[in-house]
Structure 1
Amino acid sequence: MQRVVTAEMDLDLGASVDLILQITAGQQMPVATESLTFTQGDRVYTPTEIIDQSGSRLHRLTGEPGRLEIRYEATIEGHSASSRTSDLEAITYLRPSRYCQSDEVFPQARRQFKGLAGHDLIAAVSDFVATSTTYTPGLSHGTDSAVTTLMTGQGVCRDYAHLVIALLRAMDMPARYAACYAPGLDPMDFHAVAEAYLDGSWYVIDGTRLANRRSLVRIATGRDAADCAFLSYHGGYVGLAHLRVDAWVMPEEASDVTNSGIAASDDDVFAPTADDFTELVQIA
């Protein structure tokens, strides 16, 4: 499976500011081609790349006042290799975190999912969050947590992911947050999903059910959104003047034509099916 991902971001900097971005495909993704540029008029910045313990790639630079244009494009070819999860990682993803207060949702989780474990638990939590939460762009805030989402029943992808993670951790299943590109997502943007650790592997849960989990491209991995922000900054004013994200799957020759001989669109070939919501799927 070949996927193409792009991101355009224009930032208005009011002063010299320390910028940290996470918009590139993660270290473990099989990147065939890639371009990342930071330009300000005639000036071209060269960022420092920092790779964290989970393979997330952070790009850091000091930007000067003015309009900074950031452009990223990559082609992902094939599937990523699975990496071993250490005991320390598994323990980390069992603990409560800033936006995933598993200790606070513990009573409800234990009542709601009593007696469930393994695949049955993953399916039950996914279904509960998908059916009890309404996707509402523009109404949630960056400080909203799993507790907020559970109370209000509304949010965007990061809120769905936080609630899934908190409920799974409350049931003693390690769970983590993944920021990603999601071909077919509508409305298109950076996307967020949860991952559950079962029998030595991580499986994707997308409570929004807005994208095909089999085509996701991982950007960053962490305890919650605080570890995976696409932009963070320190020391000055930053205004987001423009943001455009896109991602799509390049149809393979064998998939260009359906059994009936009629050309298939990307939506026909790669749209999620009912099975996609219940099967155990890993980020490819």
Structure 2
Amino acid sequence: MKRDVSAHLDIAVHAPAALQLQLAVARQPGLELNESLALTLDGSEVVPREVPGPHGSRIHVFDSGAGNLRVQYRATVLGAAEPEPVAAYDLAAYLRPSRFAESDKLLGFAWSEFGCGIGDPEMPARISAWVGRRIRYAPGSSGPMDGAVETLLSGTGVCRDFSHLVVALLRAVGVPARVASVYAPGCFPMDFHSVPEVYVDGVWRAFDPTGLAPRSAYVRIATGRDASDIAFLANHGSDITVNGLSVTAFIDGPLPFDDFRLPTSIH
């Protein structure tokens, strides 16, 4: 499977800042990756430092002066990622509540609605389908500080909100769950995409309650507890404005069929 992905950012940096990018394809065994990353500040090259993160994630860290920052990333991805070993620490960490997946606030609701999920391999599919029915996809309907509770109460959101609610409900009923950012061929509107991953029968399986793109074509970028771990841009110590963002993701040939009721892995 050949996939071509890209991301372009146009950022106004209003004062010197320490910035972090997470938009490079995750390094995983089984993938052949041909990529380029170019950063310029007012036309001058900026060289970031790559920091490896969990699950193959890569954070590009750099200091930027004030000015107009342009970021261009392109990658061609061949092959299929091999399943990563499941660490005992991950199974513990991805059961805990987190900033945007406040499972501790949803314990009573989740148990009364779904019951106990421990030892029930069908629970992730039921919760993902429930969120897909319960929440309406509406671009611009949520803010960057909204979490799973706000999404449940409002009944609307974008992909990250769907992911947070699925993850929070699963953790609340005892099932380890995490969030992944991906390039998603076929996604409309095209953007960085966020999906929940769930520990099912000894492996991590992806669900997508939005149904926006076939999961077998996904390309993993970053993986973590919630959006705070997988943000494509983090700003420390300054004021910035994202003036432009464009993302592309294509696959050779027709898009594969996806039965969203069934679990699958991100390859």
- Which of 135, 139, 146 aligns to 1:137? It is 139
Matched, 1:125 2:108: no
Match of 1:60 in 2: 61
8 A Cα contact 1:25 1:31, kept in partner: no
Mapped partners of 2:120, 2:216: distance in 1: 20
Q: CA deviation at 1:115?
A: 5.5
Mapped partners of 1:24, 1:31: distance in 2: 13
Matched, 1:16 2:35: no
Question: In the TM superposition, what whole-angstrom CA distance separates every residue of 1:153-198 from its partner, at most 9, and x where no partner exists?
Answer: 1100000000000111111110000011100000000000000001
Mapped partners of 1:106, 1:114: distance in 2: 10
Match of 1:79 in 2: 80
Mapped partners of 1:141, 1:13: distance in 2: 21
- 1:134-283 matched pairs, under 5 angstroms: 134-251=136-253, 266=254, 269-270=255-256, 272-273=257-258, 276-283=259-266
Mapped partners of 2:191, 2:54: distance in 1: 25
Question: In the TM superposition, what whole-angstrom CA distance separates every residue of 1:213-253 from its partner, at most 9, and x where no partner exists?
Answer: 111111000000000100011122211111100101012xx
Q: 1:168 to 1:115 in 2, by over 3 A?
A: closer
Q: Helix, strand or coil: the match of 1:246?
A: strand
Q: Helix, strand or coil: the match of 2:151?
A: helix
TM-score normalised to structure 1 length: 0.90
Mapped partners of 1:208, 1:53: distance in 2: 25
**Please, which runs of 5 or more residues in structure 2 have no aligned partner?**
none
8 A Cα contact 1:47 1:60, kept in partner: yes
8 A Cα contact 2:96 2:171, kept in partner: yes
Q: Helix, strand or coil: the match of 1:193?
A: strand
Q: CA deviation at 1:38?
A: 0.3
Q: How many positions carry a matched residue from both structures?
A: 265
Question: In the TM superposition, what whole-angstrom CA distance separates every residue of 1:17-66 from its partner, at most 9, and x where no partner exists?
Answer: 11100000012171431000001244111100001133210001111111
8 A Cα contact 2:116 2:174, kept in partner: no
Q: 1:37 to 1:140 in 2, by over 3 A?
A: same
Q: CA deviation at 1:78?
A: 1.0
Mapped partners of 1:6, 1:85: distance in 2: 29
8 A Cα contact 1:178 1:195, kept in partner: yes
Q: Helix, strand or coil: the match of 2:55?
A: coil
Mapped partners of 1:239, 1:101: distance in 2: 28
Mapped partners of 1:36, 1:170: distance in 2: 39
Match of 1:261 in 2: none
Mapped partners of 1:167, 1:237: distance in 2: 34
**Please, which runs of 5 or more residues in structure 1 have no aligned partner?**
252-265
Q: Which amino acid is 1:113 matched to? A: F
Match of 2:3 in 1: 3
State the identity %. Answer: 40
Mapped partners of 1:115, 1:226: distance in 2: 27
8 A Cα contact 2:23 2:221, kept in partner: yes
Q: Which amino acid is 1:178 matched to? A: A
8 A Cα contact 2:17 2:236, kept in partner: yes
8 A Cα contact 1:31 1:74, kept in partner: no
RMSD: 1.3
TM-score normalised to structure 2 length: 0.96
Mapped partners of 1:157, 1:231: distance in 2: 17
8 A Cα contact 2:121 2:201, kept in partner: no
